[in-house]
Structure 1
């Protein structure tokens, strides 16, 4: 064994190869999610129902008891929308990675995946890369639905 570090070019090629593997994870997870098209429909229906539910709850809350932020009064619906968006992003960081590894384990592919010549960080990021793309898009769609369906700006 030599203590001489590998040339930068070789390391850069290795990192580029690892990033190419992440796109394979993204494609795999997208194709798997797309094969269950009803999940996309129920997700959209869930967003609409969630928006309607909190819209009607916001009609119950007296706007005068809500605090002001930056000199302007915030409605209950605006407060809830931000809370739901933050919850989605926090859940992504906390629960999705563990769920991804658990799913790989249940399918029997975790051991095979770990035996491939793939860096551990690539497997970790690749396991949640679909969610890293999907959750912000879903959150943006949620903001658009709320803005179009209600008076929230």
Structure 2
């Protein structure tokens, strides 16, 4: 983490789903729900919508984790990874969902787990066509407004 040009050790590893009350997600998927209050979480529903995640230290650049929704669900050539989930738990990340349950998700695609370079930020917003992990994250982040 940098503050006034000085690098400090990271102080957290958890980020919030950017589709919750964010102001800067629309460029990552037009027409998708931005949840403003609990009663908005109707699709995909509280048990299928993640709220907090372990985010990689070299991806963490703010308090939220953006899951890009462009191409969801049926244009896999457009899928991207905007911010990266952690893979600290034997190639898996911890997710907490709106209904209170949590899951450990083991990643399948190496593109979801690039090599960690201490002290450097990863390139973010990277094309990841046909990545099953990107699809898993999209499935549990938000939905198109009907």
In the superposition, the TM-score normalised over structure 2's length comes to 0.23
**Rg bigger for which structure?**
1
**Relative to total residues, which structure has the larger strand share, 1 or 2?**
2
**Relative to total residues, which structure has the larger helix share, 1 or 2?**
1
Higher RCO (CA 8 Å, separation ≥ 6 residues) = 1
In the superposition, the TM-score normalised over structure 1's length comes to 0.22
